[in-house]
Amino acid sequence: MVVRRAKRSRKLHRTRVWGVGNKKNARGKGTRGGVGKAGWRKSKFTQMTAKRPEEIRQRGFFRYGKPKKLEITLNEINKLAGNGSKEIQLKGYTVLSNGQIGEALTIKAKRFSAKAVEKINAAGGNAVKEE
């Protein structure tokens, strides 16, 4: 006579793992691994690097509301002036003295370095601080 084994369903009925594979998979959240960004440096690493690289940041303490410094050099202003405009408005920017200005420009910015003001005035332009 053929020996019949009990069906798996009969063997595993009333156990914790029946139908879910692993105990933790029965929680209703799948294999998500936690709440929010938990596991982003391990199990969800591809999601972090390939899909959302802008969210990668250094560990440790930092201020969320810390404003980025907006700086622009005279070389970059020279490139902007190539469009033919004689007045350039740089709202919130700090103008640094790296480079030269080839023509007389009126530059409106939040701050200017001392050397930048000298170079702008030497070229026949004006450095106007905005408030």
pLDDT along the chain (131 residues), means of 10: 74 77 71 71 78 73 74 91 84 93 92 96 94 77
3-state secondary structure the chain: CCCCCCCHHHHHCCCCCCCCCCHHHHHCCCCCCCCCCCCCCCCCHHHHHHHCHHHCCCCCCCCCCCCCCCEEEHHHHHHHHHHCCCEEEEEEEEEECCCCCCCCCEEEEEEECHHHHHHHHHCCCEEEECC
pLDDT of residue 109: 95
Q: What is the pTM of this model?
A: 0.49
CATH fold of 71-129 reads Ribosomal Protein L15; Chain: K; domain 2 (3.100.10)
Q: Which residue type occupies 69?
A: K
Give domain limits for the chain. Answer: 71-129
pLDDT of residue 1: 66
